[in-house]
Amino acid sequence: DAGVIQSPRHEVTEMGQEVTLRCKPISGHDYLFWYRQTMMRGLELLIYFNNNVPIDDSGMPEDRFSAKMPNASFSTLKIQPSEPRDSAVYFCASSLPTGIGEQFFGPGTRLTVL
């Protein structure tokens, strides 16, 4: 398996623009997670899905952030409008439904909002 795939790997945009980050989980994994990593706040869980259904979005910072999972092999995280404070590395992770918590991470998308 190719592992969790994220695109783009790097994104530079201007404040106010819409940004869409994409993730393809490992085939057969029923859980998908979106994280944000910054120097100041560390690693934060934004939202996670089970069988394409959002389970907990309490980590989504504000209404400018939205996430969807239209099918088992694809998810998006959208920021509209983007702000400089959204600059971070965004990770997608997936896992099997074992109840153990072992997650497999993608390489991340480094977002810079100017």
Nearest-approach distance from CB 86 to another protein, in angstroms: 19
Binding residue for another protein, selected from 24, 33, 75, 111, defined by CB under 8 A = 33
Binding of residue 31 to another protein (CB under 8 A): yes
Binding of residue 72 to another protein (CB under 8 A): no
Report whether 107 contacts 6 (CB < 8 A). yes
Q: What are the phi and psi torsion angles at 104 (to 5°)?
A: -110, 125
Task: Give the range of 20-28, 42-50, 60-68, 80-88 binding another protein by CB under 8 A.
Answer: 42-50
Which stretches does DSSP call E strand in 2-108?
5-7, 10-13, 19-24, 31-38, 42-50, 53-56, 65-71, 74-79, 88-95, 104-105
Choice between 74 and 105, CB closer to another protein: 105
Distance in angstroms (rounded) separating the CA atoms of residues 112 and 78: 14
Nearest-approach distance from CB 18 to another protein, in angstroms: 24
Q: Which residues form the interface with another protein (CB under 8 A)?
A: 4, 31, 33, 42-43, 45, 48, 50, 55-56, 91, 93, 95, 97, 99-108
